[in-house]
Amino acid sequence: MSAPVITGIVFAGLTALGAVSALIVPLVANRRDDRRRALDLKDQISSDMTTQVVDLIRFVQFTSVGGDEHREGADALNFRIAEWEQRISAVWTKLSVHFSEGLAADWRTYTDALRSLYELTWVGTKLDGVNDQNEFSAERMRLIDRFQYGLQRLGVDVSSVSWGDLADVANTNAYMKRWVEIRAMAEAPLPILLSNMMKARTEAPKGSSWRP
């Protein structure tokens, strides 16, 4: 085989290799960028979820367990339930857009349970003027049941607390004595949800060219 023929073959091979590389390199780079964007998204949502859980539980701890002497400290937290509702809804939207339905549903279950914990803190204020202790206890028990139900759906064992004692208006110290356990239960679903999200595959929003 003559030198010009060999040169031509080599040149054709290099040209083909260059054409393939021109296709593969941008594809690999795009996939790498997609993975980075997916991780950035998960990190942001993880931070948002953690902040909302910590903010509500910390506020409940100040107001419900700390007593009157800590009310000023609770006010300093500048917690507003309406703003919290907006922020948890924003997290739910991101989960709904970028992940399967299960993660968003679990987040809603979790925040419903936390909302019951918050309302349990303020049930006394809501029932001011109600002299019927049975009605007061029934309302507390309703909130406690909602709190337990949400946690159980997310796999949390709630059997260690005597919940009936917390509904007894005559047993005012029960809530404070059990707060460490209640707080641990309220926090327990968060690492589960975060782990599930970090392992989940992200889904591109409709109309987006992003394919994670």
* Structure-token match 């922020």, residue found: 87
**pLDDT score, position 70:** 46
C-alpha to C-alpha distances, 50 to 104, 163, 189, 202, 212, nearest whole angstrom: 15, 26, 11, 19, 24
pLDDT at 11 over 50: no
Nearest to 122, CA basis, from 50, 59, 53: 59
Per residue in 29-78, pLDDT tens? 455 666 788 889 999 999 999 999 999 998 888 776 544 444 544 555 56
* Domain residue ranges in the chain: 3-199
Rounded to 5, what percent of the chain is helix, strand, coil?
80, 0, 20
**pLDDT score, position 121:** 75
Per residue in 141-168, pLDDT tens? 888 899 999 999 999 999 888 787 777 6
* Structure-token match 């005012």, residue found: 172
45, amino acid identity? I
**pLDDT score, position 16:** 53
For residue 8, give both structure tokens.
Answer: 């031509």
pLDDT at 180 over 60: yes
139, amino acid identity? E
**pLDDT score, position 5:** 47
Start-to-end Cα distance in the chain: 49
Neighbouring residues of 72: CB distance < 8 A, sequence distance ≥ 6: none
C-alpha to C-alpha distances, 72 to 59, 69, 118, nearest whole angstrom: 11, 7, 18
**pLDDT score, position 42:** 92
Give pTM, 2 decimals. Answer: 0.75
Whole-angstrom distance, CA of residue 181 vs CA of residue 105: 25
